[in-house]
Amino acid sequence: MAAASPTPPPPSRELDPDGILARELDGMHPLVVIVTDDENDIRARIFNQVPAAMALRQWTVVRGLADGRVSSPPVPESEHPTVALAWVASPDGRGRAATVFYDLARHLDDPRTARALKEAVDAAHAALGTVVLVERTLPPPKDALAEAHVIELPPPTDTEIEAIVRDVVRDVRKIRPIDVAIRRSNFARLVRNLRGLSRRQVRRLVTAAALHEQRFDDRDLETVLVRKRNILGDLGGVLEFVESPVSLDEIGGLANLKAWLAKRHLDRSDEAAAFGLRPPRGVLLLGVQGAGKSLAAKAIATAWGVPLLRLDAGALFDKYIGESERKLRESLEQADRMAPAVLWIDEIEKGFASAASLSSDGGLSRRMFGSLLTWMQERTAPSFLAATANDISALPPELLRKGRFDEVFFVDLPTPEVRRKILEIHLAKRKRDPIAFDLARLAAASEGFSGAEIEAAIESAMREAFGEESRAVTDADLLKAFATSPPISRVMAGRIGELREWARGKTVPAE
């Protein structure tokens, strides 16, 4: 396999799972919950990191409670969690020990098991031991777990991912021949695309990629990204994947934005850091409604070849206390797990406008807005924020402070040249030859129309032609569509004029 990029610096102590476990499983916390989907990995780590001075016991509902270091018969009838926990709290089970229970949380609906857990934790606390619950997902904070110390182990570092990839490919080649041909630069990109996955997920994904067509090469970059998206699955209701155009040629206009993107690369964060630069952080796309802000967000993901995730700010708010904050936190965490990626918050003022005033929501908007600002300021993953807004006056002033965004772009109505390009794109997309139309005349007739309105006019003209025995679409059909449907720039001329006036000198034109 081709060599990867220069080895990143060693992970810090806080990113070292073994360091975390050694620190947290020494009896300081009598009840610990470890959240992981890689049980084999965590079992080996616990075995290596529990101090030798502590006994190690392990429990599953199949095998019961037994010694975790030497082979020995389990405690009789300890397959039942209540029996196992009661034994830990009994004179026979007392002593300084780490007792590890796998998938215990699902049994805590039984009052006897919940009570037995409390007594086992009290016994562990008295003996400077610990009770450890290993769970696939974070269990709800029931009474028995109210004071648990939660450990969510960090995903593997780039160095670990690189080692896992090499090990998996080597192991697969022992079973069946596969063609391995991946360039050094693409191997580094592959490693970055695997960030955010657990060790087990990385192994599973790379194994599937290597076995597919019995090759492992540059073409697997896209395969890995798609499979990663499938592994992460549901993004929580307020976050969704959005398909972006495969080429910037499918996007008309936005010349300044495209030039800006060409000088910045989200997936080259390691090289940028070595040069002394941080990855690009984000842009705010302000503009006329329908002028192409959403398309601009898609252009960013397209230019960099990374996933585009859309956060519905209006769907964040929930009637249940704490749910809104949880939705936002999980959405931002998921975006970081997908990094490098573009997080698109559409019409950001809808979700955070109340943070700019004394709202009647008990401070929820301010807390949500504070969480967003903290993430924007402190995130380390190469997640790029593309926020769009129609009403700048509704945004809290803190959001516009220098340093929050790399740049604020103003997306105005398209110029005649850009309107002509938009006409070409949408006619070709509908299997019509643009050369057959008088594009200069149509571009002039569509003055004041946004890109979305031009597309709608083409749709209207085609429906008119289809309704008349599916005849060919003509210039006259398009001219009629433009003439009978006034654009928003005429309907809301005053408001758009105010927006343009505000943007002058404060933003960079996207075109």
Q: Give dist(CA 200, CA 212) in Å, integer.
A: 18
Task: Assess whether 404 and 435 both reside in one domain.
Answer: no
More confident residue, 221 or 453: 453
Task: Assess whether 384 and 427 both reside in one domain.
Answer: no
Q: Locate all alpha helices (DSSP H) within 403-472, ordered by sequence.
A: 416-429, 439-445, 451-466
Question: In CATH, what number is assigned to the domain containing residue 443?
Answer: 1.10.8.60
| Last residue within a domain, chosen from 182, 208, 232 | 232
| Last residue within a domain, chosen from 215, 232, 249 | 232
pLDDT bin (cut points 50, 70, 90) of residue 87 is very high
498: region left, alpha or beta (phi > 0 left; psi from -120 to 50 alpha): alpha
More confident residue, 96 or 141: 96
pLDDT bin (cut points 50, 70, 90) of residue 433 is very high
Amino acid in position 502: W
Identify the pLDDT of residue 13: 32
Mean pLDDT of the chain: 83
Handedness of CA 422, 425, 429, 430 (dihedral sign): positive
β-pair partners for 346:
312
How many structural domains are present in the chain? 4
| Most confident of the ranges 5-14, 214-223, 484-493 | 484-493
Identify the pLDDT of residue 14: 39
More confident residue, 444 or 401: 444
Task: Assess whether 176 and 273 both reside in one domain.
Answer: no
Rg (CA), the chain: 29
Q: Give dist(CA 151, CA 100) in Å, integer.
A: 14
What's the rounded mean pLDDT across residues 376-400? 82
Q: Is residue 477 part of a domain?
A: yes
Q: Is residue 500 part of a domain?
A: no
Residue 428 in this model has a pLDDT that exceeds 70: yes
Give me 242's structure tokens.
Answer: 């959005």
Q: Which residues have CB under 8 Å from 464's CB, separation 6+?
A: 477, 480, 481
Task: Assess whether 351 and 286 both reside in one domain.
Answer: yes
Q: Is residue 59 part of a domain?
A: yes
Q: Is residue 511 part of a domain?
A: no
Task: Assess whether 219 and 244 both reside in one domain.
Answer: no
Identify the pLDDT of residue 131: 95
Report whether 196 contacts 340 (CB < 8 A).
no
What's the rounded mean pLDDT across residues 441-470? 92
Residue 235 in this model has a pLDDT that exceeds 60: no
Report whether 336 contacts 348 (CB < 8 A).
no
Task: Assess whether 94 and 47 both reside in one domain.
Answer: yes
Identify the pLDDT of residue 479: 95
DSSP per-residue letters across 36-99: -S-HHHHHHHHHHHS-TTSEEEEEETTTEEEESSS--PPPTTTTSHHHHHHHHHSTTT-SSEEE
What's the rounded mean pLDDT across residues 190-217? 85
Q: Give dist(CA 437, CA 433) in Å, integer.
A: 8
β-strands 308-312, 239-242: how paired? antiparallel
Nearest-CA neighbor of 49 among 113, 100, 114, 125? Answer: 100
pLDDT bin (cut points 50, 70, 90) of residue 357 is low
- DSSP 8-state code for residue 5: S
Nearest-CA neighbor of 295 among 226, 386, 225, 222? Answer: 386
Q: How many CB atoms lie within 10 A of CB 23?
A: 13
Of the candidate ranges 93-107, 114-128, 323-337, 451-465, the one whose mean pLDDT is the lowest: 323-337
Amino acid in position 149: H
Q: Give dist(CA 416, CA 414) in Å, integer.
A: 7
Chain-centroid distance, C-alpha 190 = 17
The share of the chain scoring above pLDDT 70, in percent, equals 89
Identify the pLDDT of residue 107: 94
- Full residue range of the structural domain in which residue 448 is found: 416-491
Residue 84 in this model has a pLDDT that exceeds 90: yes
Task: Assess whether 252 and 353 both reside in one domain.
Answer: yes
490-508: per-residue pLDDT in tens?
Answer: 888 888 888 888 888 888 9
The share of the chain scoring above pLDDT 90, in percent, equals 32
Task: Assess whether 22 and 147 both reside in one domain.
Answer: yes
Question: In CATH, what number is assigned to the domain containing residue 302?
Answer: 3.40.50.300
Q: Give dist(CA 399, CA 381) in Å, integer.
A: 20
Q: Give dist(CA 3, CA 80) in Å, integer.
A: 51
| Last residue within a domain, chosen from 127, 152, 177 | 152
Q: Which residues have CB under 8 Å from 294's CB, separation 6+?
A: 344, 346, 388
Judged by DSSP in three states, 66 sits in: strand
Residue 139 in this model has a pLDDT that exceeds 50: yes
pTM of the model: 0.64
Q: Is residue 365 part of a domain?
A: yes
Identify the pLDDT of residue 18: 75
Q: Is residue 403 part of a domain?
A: yes
Q: Give dist(CA 65, CA 80) in Å, integer.
A: 9
Q: Return the residue matching tokens 């529990």.
A: 50
Task: Assess whether 219 and 368 both reside in one domain.
Answer: no
Identify the pLDDT of residue 137: 81
Q: Is residue 504 part of a domain?
A: no
Task: Assess whether 254 and 383 both reside in one domain.
Answer: yes
Identify the pLDDT of residue 77: 95
